[in-house]
Copies of this chain bind each other. A is one copy, B any other.
Amino acid sequence: MIHNIRILGIDPGSLYTGYGIIDSQGDNLKHVASGCIRTNGGEFTRRLQEIFYGVGALLDEFRPQELVVEKAFVHKNADSALKLGQARAAAICASLPQALPVHEYTPREIKQALTGRGGASKIQVQHMVKSLLRLQGVMQADSADALAAAICHAHSRGMRLRLAAGQGGQQ
């Protein structure tokens, strides 16, 4: 009933774009790959290019079926917001040719899904990411955020599938 699905989570940033790929089969989650696309902080177009082709390379190598990007909360700083917007769009545009469904969750929704508390700390989220994916050792913050977004989507998707199955049974 619940099909296996591969999810790519992205935590975009103009200097560091974290990524995390998981396989989700029902409640069972498996870590596939995670890391960070580092742009060299140089010229702006070059940075967009690195994110665009970096995400493109991940899509080619790992063939995820769905993309999840942290929804940008409104920054206080307009300059940061502009850079974040550009990084987000570069990641999403890379997925357009493959017509991947793109899902967005707020940081609060992601924290809620992982720890049960929307106000959880980054450390708590990282701890849950490692625990749910049975990972050891130190985890990079950008990778952890990207994996957290992917896990949040796996949960939310699982819930929707169960609800749909339940509604089907009542008919």
A81 interface residue (CB < 8 Å to B): yes
B-side contacts of A96, CB under 8 Å? 48-49, 52-53
The main secondary structure of chain A at its interface with chain B is helix
A28 interface residue (CB < 8 Å to B): no
Q: How far is the CA of A81 from the CA of B80 in the complex (A)?
A: 9
A29 interface residue (CB < 8 Å to B): no
Most B CB atoms within 10 A — which of A49, A52, A85, A86?
A85
**What is the size, in residues, of chain A's interface with B at 8 Å between Cβ atoms?**
30
A133 interface residue (CB < 8 Å to B): no
Most B CB atoms within 10 A — which of A45, A77, A96?
A45
Whether A89 contacts B78 by the Cβ 8 Å rule is no
B-side contacts of A90, CB under 8 Å? 89, 93
A76 interface residue (CB < 8 Å to B): yes
A74 interface residue (CB < 8 Å to B): yes
Q: Which residue of B lies closest to A67 (CB)?
A: B45
Most B CB atoms within 10 A — which of A44, A84, A89, A96?
A89
B-side contacts of A92, CB under 8 Å? 45, 48
Contacts A/B (CB < 8 Å), 10 sampled: A48-B89, A48-B92, A48-B93, A48-B96, A74-B78, A74-B79, A76-B78, A86-B88, A89-B90, A89-B93
